[in-house]
Amino acid sequence: MAGAVAGSGTPEDTFPKLLLRNARRFSARPAIREKDLGIWQSWTWGEVLDEVRAFALGLKELGVKAGDKIAIIGHNRPRLYWTFTAVQSLGAVPIPVYQDAVAEEMAYVLSHAEVAFAVVEDQEQVDKLITLNEELHALTHVIYDDERGLKNYDHAQLHPFEDVQALGRKALAGNASAEADWEAAIAAGKGEDVAVILYTSGTTGRPKGVMLSFDNILISAVNANAFDRLDETEEIIAYLPMAWVGDHIFSYAQAYAAGFCVNCPESPDTVTEDRREIAPTYFFAPPRVFEMLLTQIMVRMEDAGELKKKMFHHYLGVARDVGERLLNDEEVGLLDRLRYRLGEVLVYGPLKNRMGLSRLKVGYTAGEAIGPEIFRFYRALGLNLKQLYGQTEASVYISMQPDGEIRADTVGTPAPDVEIRIDDNGEVLYRSPGVFVGYFKNDEATKETKTEEGWVHTGDAGFFDNEGHLRIIDRAKDVGKLVDDTLFAPKYIENKLKFFPDIKEVVAFGHERDKVCVFINIDLESVGNWAERNNISYASYQELAAHPQVYETIETHVRQVNQDLAQEPRMAGSQISRFLVLHKELDADDGELTRTQKVRRSFIAEKYTALIEALYDGSTEADISTEVTYEDGRKGMLSATLNIRDVERFGTAQMKEAAE
């Protein structure tokens, strides 16, 4: 595959080569947009080429050379996306860093990667780098996009983005061969060259730098575009962290490969509104986003008039009956089609428009398992939502759901050019053209993860069902057993609880113990709205989480999950015995979540050992004092006495009684 995009026979095997191609083929088509001060600004592919070329040559004037590592830090901004291509055109390697990382986390990545230059969004990121100045010996220049607040800073090694572009344009004007030399350097690039280093989120320890080649990324991107028939007419909104492999594939690689348009929202706070204006045709969101959207819909309906409520619930019933069948082109009677069409006018269409998904061609979710009911809700509305299974080390794609074969309990079949096998211990392994080159400066970890035959250990446990679809149970290391040998899959239990809009996060415990117990975080927006409607006052998350009526509601949800588990032979023995509602939200700044919002299970188990002991020793309450990090970086202590509840468990006889 080296030397061509996915064996297509074309020579565009790097992003700079694709930019030159797109500037010729789609010169006047919009390549990227940004909303600024309420107005969408657009750049065509031809204009993007001019912007990237000027910046690349400016970087060269500053001293960037092949092999250098260049950090990219900030929210989704056109100039930061252009930086990837500009850096790659010089043979250097871009390294995106999570923009919300605290200084200590950022210092590790930048030092480990030996970053020489950094291109950042604004003053906040500049300030972080200044505080790390003594630790970052290799860092020589910092370039910023937004100049606000930076006027009086020392600019000896600090440069506005426009000034670097001006250096490049000056070089172009002063050297007749500058453009030709630049394009010659691009032509010399090869598919097997390292295109980017993406650092993992550090769920189990220090982040690892995943080296992906152009071939890895572009073959995966071209295959994905072909799989869902995506072309240059698509629109996507770029709002996910630029340091995450998903955004790099969806908003950069697939956009360059197909030539479609990427839209950057005005700010993280305006994503929903901006998505509504753009109405993307291609959209990815982790389950948390779909859960939040559903919560917002249900909260709004609670405030609606009785007539609107009745209409909403009636047509949701129609959608549940026939919506997914229509989406799958199955046979549906004329009367049901007419009822659904009326529901589209009265309910489904306005709902999709409200969510900014009225033009959706295909949507994906991944990262965590999505609740089956939530998944079916969106598909019932006529939204072609699918699940995929992927990893940074795979250039995202391991398995995908083909149209017409979409189920809530699987993650599909092997993606194009991907092989999957299940090891003897139940672990999922794969190999594909997207498999990473290796971990940067970590040969030992590379050998542990990737075999000599190219198989990659995912660390996930799963199996193929009778129809050849992959089901992921949990992280292989997290799947355990109770003391009576009952299967314990914590994520499976957690995701069942997270289906309820009142519950935001769950951490389950039970391995090598006699019962399952859980920590629960309430969803502040959903529960807060309930409190407001019921004239219940509260001063903080902690106070609302401890409210007796909130506990009663959560206990009802836990009881429902136990009823569901009782009907599943493999999981019936892992019903939840006890729970508590945490006094604070789990937070990445406190080390409890990764930057991609995944639970750091072992860290939480160590941090809250006293609470776990109280769950298992029969205590009815537990005292806790926890260090917390505030938004401004200050630290403080939060103390509380937490209530612990026992929950009813169900056997076969009880389930029969409940059914009767």
Residue 204 has pLDDT above 60, yes or no: no
Q: What is the pLDDT of residue 8?
A: 41
Give how far Cα 118 sits from Cα of 83, 144, 159, 161, 576, Å: 10, 8, 10, 11, 48
Helices within 238-345 (DSSP H only): 245-247, 254-258, 271-278, 287-302, 306-327, 334-343
Tokens of 218: 């572009």
In percent, the amount of the chain with pLDDT more than 90 equals 74
List, for residues 87-106, the tens digit of each pLDDT value: 999 999 999 999 988 778 89
- CA–CA gap between residue 614 and residue 623 (Å, rounded): 9
Closest CA to 373 of 465, 501, 551: 501
CA distances from 310 to 38, 195, 318, 427, 529 (A): 36, 54, 13, 47, 20
Q: Which of 5-9, 542-546, 584-588 has the lowest mean pLDDT?
A: 5-9
Looking at the structure, give the CATH architecture of the domain made up of residues 15-267: 3-Layer(aba) Sandwich (3.40)
Query: What is the pLDDT of the chain when averaged over all its residues?
Result: 91
Region of 271 (left: φ > 0; alpha: ψ -120 to 50; beta: rest) is alpha
Residue pair 570/487 in contact (Cβ under 8 Å)? The answer is yes
| Helix (H), strand (E), coil (C) string for 126-191 | HHHHHHCCCCCCCCCEEEECCCCCCCCCCCCCEEEHHHHHHHHHHHHHHCCCHHHHHHHHHHHCCC
% of residues, the chain, pLDDT over 70: 96
Of 54-58, 451-455, 635-639, the poorest mean pLDDT is in 635-639
The answer, yes or no, to whether residue 352 has pLDDT greater than 90, is: yes
Predicted confidence at residue 412, as pLDDT, reads 95
Tokens of 591: 């080390």
pLDDT digits (tens, 9 = 90+) for 509-525: 999 999 999 999 999 98
- Assign 2 a pLDDT band (cuts: 50, 70, 90): very low
- For domain 287-358+360-432+449-475, give the CATH number: 2.30.38.10
The predicted structure's pLDDT at residue 119: 98
pLDDT in tens, 169-199: 999 999 989 999 999 999 999 999 999 999 9
Helix (H, G, I), strand (E, B) or coil at 473: strand
pLDDT tens for 460-516 read 888 898 899 998 877 777 788 899 988 888 888 998 898 788 999 999 999 999 999
Phi and psi at 141, nearest 5°, equal -140, 140
Q: Which two tokens mark 635?
A: 């630290």
- Within 10 A of 422 (CB to CB), how many other CB atoms are there? 14
What's the pLDDT score for residue 6?
Answer: 46
Interval 157-164 mean pLDDT? 96
The tally of CA atoms less than 13 A away on the side-chain side of residue 552 is 3
The pLDDT, as a whole number, for residue 659 is 44
Q: Give the integer Cα–Cα distance in Å for 524 and 541.
A: 7
Element (H, E) at 560: helix 548-566
**At 17, is the pLDDT very low, low, confident or very high (cuts 50, 70, 90)?**
very high
pLDDT (mean) for 108-131: 94
Which has the minimum average pLDDT: 150-164, 408-422, 446-460, 560-574? 560-574
Q: What is the 3-state secondary structure (H, E, C) of 532-543?
A: HHCCCCCCCHHH
CA torsion through residues 303, 307, 310, 312, sign: negative
Q: What is the pLDDT of residues 561-579, one digit of tens each?
A: 999 899 877 778 999 999 9
The angle subtended at Cα 229 by Cα 285 and Cα 333, nearest 5°, is 85
Please report the pLDDT score of residue 10 as a whole number: 53
Q: 325-339: b or e for each residue (b if 16 or more CB lie within 10 Å)?
A: ebbeeeebeeeeeeb
pLDDT of residue 203: 56
Q: Place 656 in a pLDDT band, splitting at 50, 70 and 90.
A: very low
Output the CATH code of domain 480-659: 3.30.300.30
User: Rounded to an integer, what distance in angstroms lies between the CA atom of residue 632 and that of residue 618?
Assistant: 39
Amino acid at 171: A
Tokens of 509: 């415990």
- What are the residues whose beta carbons fall under 8 Å from the beta carbon of 164, sequence distance 6 or more? 55, 58, 59, 61, 62, 143
Residue 419 predicted with pLDDT over 70: yes
Show me where the domains of the chain are located.
15-267, 287-358+360-432+449-475, 480-659
Residue carrying the six token digits 């260090």? 627
Summarize the confidence of residues 39-58 as an average pLDDT. Answer: 98
The yes-or-no verdict on residue 312 having pLDDT over 80 is yes
- Euclidean distance between CA atoms 248 and 256, whole angstroms: 11
3-state secondary structure of 480: strand
State how far the Cα of 491 lies from the Cα of 510, in Å rounded to an integer.
12
Distance CA 135, CA 127 (A): 14
pLDDT surpasses 60 at 411: yes
Alpha carbons 349 and 354: distance in angstroms, whole number: 9
Contacts of 433 (CB under 8 A, 6+ apart): 1, 6, 215, 216, 219, 220, 417
- Token pair listed for 343: 């529901």
**Please, are residues 462 and 473 in contact by the beta-carbon 8 Å criterion?**
yes
- pLDDT for 238 beyond 60: yes
CA–CA distance, 535 with 350 (Å, rounded to integer) = 30
Helices and strands (H, E) in the chain, number of each type: 24, 28
Residue 653 has pLDDT above 50, yes or no: no
Residue 5 has a pLDDT of 55
Helices 78-89 and 45-62 cross at an angle (nearest 10°) of: 60
Residue, of 104 and 459, whose pLDDT is higher: 459
Answer whether 158's CB lies under 8 Å from 126's CB: yes
Please tell me the predicted confidence (pLDDT) of residue 296: 84
